[in-house]
A and B are shown apart, each in its own frame.
Chain A
Amino acid sequence: MNPILSFLNGGKSGGGNFVSIMLRAVKAASSGQSANDFMKELSKDYPELQGLDLDDLEATANLLAKKKGKNIDSLKAQAKDLIQKYT
């Protein structure tokens, strides 16, 4: 596998679906689908999303960031950086 894709997909320690989900999200956002509907649809394919509150994405993002010990603003900047550079 291409090491860049491998890296973006999480590498050795990651879950391995980041790139494909990000591309699906870009396509869904472009088509006018709501973020909540997209997440609910996505949860059918990814059990990791099941059990999360997908109606309140802000709360869910904050909760996960806290669990991982990450700053939500830094994550926003990182997410924008990734989207702008690689989509």
Chain B
Amino acid sequence: MNEILTGPWILVIIIVLLLFGGRLLGNNGASVESEINAAINNQSVQNALRDGLLASANNNLETYKAITDQNMLMMNQNNANALAAVQGFNEVQRSIQTQGSGIQDAIARLGFQMDSCCCAIKTQLLQDKYDRLYEQYRSVQVDASNAAQTAAILGAMGKWVANPAAA
């Protein structure tokens, strides 16, 4: 280090400073130290800004993650609700179909029973009518038979009266 601070080496640094120093030479009277300190301050500000942005980005990421997780939860809940609703609807529909089927069966049975009952009543009515007619027929038949017998007796008796037998 000491070698460069003295003799020809300091001239090397001066030549390099003059050729490549840029802003180090064009400071308009401001000290090098103050410019470097300003640069350090600028660096501090940049670091603080970077840290702030990083923290903000992390917060944003956390927030985004939280929102995404919440959305996912809501979606899952919605899916579960939708599924439950569909299952509920299916259950209700199945119940309605079962009940409808039961009602149809009951109506069919009732119809059949009514038909059977009606048929039985009709048959009974016919039977009753037949029985009544048969009774009338038998009565007429008996009357006719009696009338015939009476006529025959009366006929025989008439012959006897007209031509009494010789005593």
A22-47 near B? 1/0 per residue, CB < 8 Å: 10011001100011101100000010
* B14:A65 contact, CB within 8 angstroms: yes
* A48:B10 contact, CB within 8 angstroms: no
Partner of B14, one of A29, A46, A76, A87: A76
* A25:B18 contact, CB within 8 angstroms: no
Chain B positions 1-59 with a Cβ under 8 Å from a chain A Cβ: 1, 3-5, 7-26, 32-33, 35-36, 39-40, 42-43, 46
**Given the interface contacts A18-B17, A39-B15, A78-B17, does A25 sit within 8 Å of B4 by beta carbon?**
yes
We find that the number of chain B residues with CB closer than 8 angstroms to chain A is: 33
* B23:A70 contact, CB within 8 angstroms: no
- Interface SS of chain A: helix
* A79:B20 contact, CB within 8 angstroms: no
* B11:A58 contact, CB within 8 angstroms: yes
**Given the interface contacts A7-B39, A35-B8, A64-B19, does A22 sit within 8 Å of B13 by beta carbon?**
yes
With most chain B CB atoms within 10 A of its CB, the pick from A7, A26, A79 is: A79
> What residues of B have a CB within 8 angstroms of the CB of A10 in the complex?
20-24
Once bound together, how far apart are the Cα atoms of A62 and B26, in whole Å?
18
**Given the interface contacts A65-B14, A79-B14, does A15 sit within 8 Å of B20 by beta carbon?**
yes
B45-82 near A? 1/0 per residue, CB < 8 Å: 01000000000000000000000000000000000000
What is the chain B residue whose CB lies nearest that of A81? B32
Once bound together, how far apart are the Cα atoms of A86 and B16, in whole Å?
15
> What residues of A have a CB within 8 angstroms of the CB of B36 in the complex?
4, 7-8, 85-86
> What residues of B have a CB within 8 angstroms of the CB of A16 in the complex?
20, 22
Once bound together, how far apart are the Cα atoms of A68 and B18, in whole Å?
8
Given contacts A12-B22, A48-B20, A57-B12, 6 further A-B contacts (CB under 8 A): A6-B39, A16-B22, A18-B22, A35-B7, A60-B15, A81-B33
Binding site for A on B (CB under 8 A): 1, 3-5, 7-26, 32-33, 35-36, 39-40, 42-43, 46
Binding site for B on A (CB under 8 A): 2-4, 6-18, 21-22, 25-26, 29-30, 34-36, 38-39, 46, 48-49, 52, 57-58, 60-61, 64-65, 68, 70, 72, 75-76, 78-87
